Structure 1
Amino acid sequence: MTRPKDLDPSSNPRALLGAELRHARERAGLSQEALGAPLFVSGSFIGQLEAGTRRMHLEYAAHFDETLGMGGFFARNCGALAKSKYPDHFAEAAEAEAAATAIRQYAMQLIPGLLQTKAYAEEVFRAYHPTATQEMIDSDVAARLERAHLLDDPTTPLLWAVFDEAALKREVGGGAVMAEALRHVAGLARRHRIIVQVLPFKAGAHAAMEGHLKLMEFEDAPPLSFVEGPNMGKLLDDPATVARHALMLNLLQAAALSPKESLALIDSVAQDYEHGEQHP
């Protein structure tokens, strides 16, 4: 058998590695379930690896090399996947986000990363890392703004964000920073690039009071959800869990103001910040 060439890390190594895995598995006559069973992962997880929506870790790569007779190909190329500009707890979610066709999320305390301005992101990272060097903060901000280029495509991914009213009224960086940040979100909504709803305080108790939630859908792989807390996050693929999170987002969208009402509220709060008015 001719040994496959190592992948070019400057391309999309996750997608290329997934395509090679599918080819090798089918050549070996194995189902996704059969390949995943010794690793105690589902066939759908193998499918996500093949589709490039999940990262291949070294322990999996070594098993695939041995089982499929790949001569260390997968293990060697895992190095390209291990390098990330994002924190370990978020790296795999960021990679999945980049492959998603639709993203729905609930933001409890702050404007979501994909929608942040440079000044807002700087304030957030400085609050997270009060003793970090400016070079470290600048690197984090640059990575966050680079993620936002996902929205350069006029239609994909569909981004539907539900903001808690607290995210609008928590003053990050002062009035000028908040006004700019909210005007940026409103501009994306007016250009029909994103859908935004605000969950008002008067909505009371709701399904996601415990934290942030993101659901990602893909063209050729099952959906994933991502939950996060302080310096931690987890990407989930269990169908029952993902279905529960999808229901939670449906309930939040139903309880939130309409997109038109939400845009009016965002404009109003931005105007208050511009005029120096305080929000309770």
Structure 2
Amino acid sequence: MGADSSEPEVSDSLKTFGAVLKALRDEGGLTQEQFAPRVRYSVTYVAKMEQGRRFPPKELIPRVEEVLGAPAARVLGAAYRTLMRKAGLASWFRPWAGIEEEAVSLYTYECRAIPGLLQPEPYIRTVFEQRLPPLSEEQIETQVAARLERQRLLTERPNTAFSFVVEQALLERHMGGAGVTGQLLDHLLEQMDRRNVELQVMPLRRETHAGIDGLMYLAETPQHEWVGYSEGQQSSVLITNPKDVSAMLQRYGKLRSQALGHESTVSLLKQMRGAL
């Protein structure tokens, strides 16, 4: 989906969702003209959703339940969740997103922004509202929904070990203002209560630092093989060469030893929260 487009491109995910919506409507014995007013959208809007040319709003699911019943809403809800996991993701990020969904271990070092899996909604909105070229309101809503849906990994994969190392500077930046930063700090502290989530902060002053080559993402596959990932301006690269992945694992291991431990990280986050 290009930033200068008012309507999304027709993708396989959108077409699949549209086909599910049409099948449920047909099964309910309703034409588009009969169905549209009952779910409080125009006939044109419903037609575009069924054709895969319009992102469905989140309000569609409960409205469909009112008209077609709970079983239909559950089916459509499952299709919606699948759609939102992919539709709002940049094309160059989707291969890594697929690896994330199956990983048994995920390691993340970020020096640009708080990792997407840990961002609360106000922070996510700030990120996309500041995006250049500017996004439309509909595009922002799609991006926000996709990122929130992606975060379900933290709860849906309790046996996956998530490790995050983030730079203290990202917290000191106060992106979005004091209100957003406060919600971010509260959210991070909540995530640290999860048994499968480890978060460490890299302090501002550190005489030795293994992350000077930039961000790192690492995933252990179900076959217990490791894959690396890095990204830049509108691009990304999957790193599969065993020698290169081994180097990344060594650097990440050193980063964990250099960053603050659990108790110190919790103490710092609480201190920063109290100072707002």
What is the percentage of aligned positions where both structures have the same residue?
A: 28
- Residue 146 of structure 1 is matched in structure 2 by 149
Letter of the 1:216 partner, please give it.
Answer: A
Alignment partner of 1:86 is 2:86: no
Deviation of the 1:209 alpha carbon = 2.2
Alignment partner of 1:176 is 2:179: yes
Deviation of the 1:109 alpha carbon = 2.7
- Give the TM-score taking structure 1 as reference length: 0.65
- Residue 196 of structure 1 is matched in structure 2 by 199
Within a 5 Å distance, the mapping from 1:255-266 to structure 2 comes to 255-266=258-269
> What SS does the corresponding residue of 2:108 show, helix, strand or coil?
strand
> What SS does the corresponding residue of 1:190 show, helix, strand or coil?
coil
Letter of the 2:220 partner, please give it.
Answer: E
Within a 5 Å distance, the mapping from 1:33-182 to structure 2 comes to 84-129=87-132, 131-153=134-156, 155-182=158-185
> What SS does the corresponding residue of 1:202 show, helix, strand or coil?
coil
> What SS does the corresponding residue of 1:196 show, helix, strand or coil?
strand
- Residue 225 of structure 2 is matched in structure 1 by 222
CA offset digits 1:15-40 (Å, max 9, x no partner)? xxxxxxxxxxxxxxxxxxxxxxxxxx
CA RMSD of aligned residues (A): 2.0
> What SS does the corresponding residue of 2:151 show, helix, strand or coil?
helix
Deviation of the 1:208 alpha carbon = 1.6
Letter of the 1:181 partner, please give it.
Answer: L
Letter of the 1:108 partner, please give it.
Answer: C
> What SS does the corresponding residue of 1:172 show, helix, strand or coil?
coil
Contact 2:87–2:142 (CA<8 Å) still a contact in 1?
no
Structure 1 residue runs of 5 or longer lacking an equivalent are 1-8, 11-79, 274-280
CA distance in structure 1 between the aligned counterparts of 2:160 and 2:203, rounded to whole angstroms: 26
Corresponding residue to 2:272 among 260, 269, 273: 269
Change (3 A) 1:230 1:203: same
Contact 1:196–1:263 (CA<8 Å) still a contact in 2?
no
Deviation of the 1:271 alpha carbon = 2.1
Deviation of the 1:190 alpha carbon = 2.3
- Give the TM-score taking structure 2 as reference length: 0.66
Structure 2 residue runs of 5 or longer lacking an equivalent are 1-11, 14-82
CA distance in structure 2 between the aligned counterparts of 1:95 and 1:270, rounded to whole angstroms: 34
Contact 1:110–1:170 (CA<8 Å) still a contact in 2?
no
> What SS does the corresponding residue of 2:186 show, helix, strand or coil?
helix
The farther-off stretch of 159-168 and 210-219 is: 210-219
Alignment partner of 1:249 is 2:272: no
Change (3 A) 1:187 1:226: same
Letter of the 1:178 partner, please give it.
Answer: T
After superposing on structure 2, the runs of 4+ consecutive aligned residues of structure 1 that deviate more than 4 Å are none
Deviation of the 1:233 alpha carbon = 1.4
Number of corresponding residues: 194
CA distance in structure 2 between the aligned counterparts of 1:226 and 1:168, rounded to whole angstroms: 23
> What SS does the corresponding residue of 2:152 show, helix, strand or coil?
helix
Deviation of the 1:239 alpha carbon = 0.4
CA offset digits 1:81-104 (Å, max 9, x no partner)? xx7541121110011011101101
Letter of the 1:229 partner, please give it.
Answer: G
Contact 1:211–1:229 (CA<8 Å) still a contact in 2?
no
Deviation of the 1:130 alpha carbon = 5.0
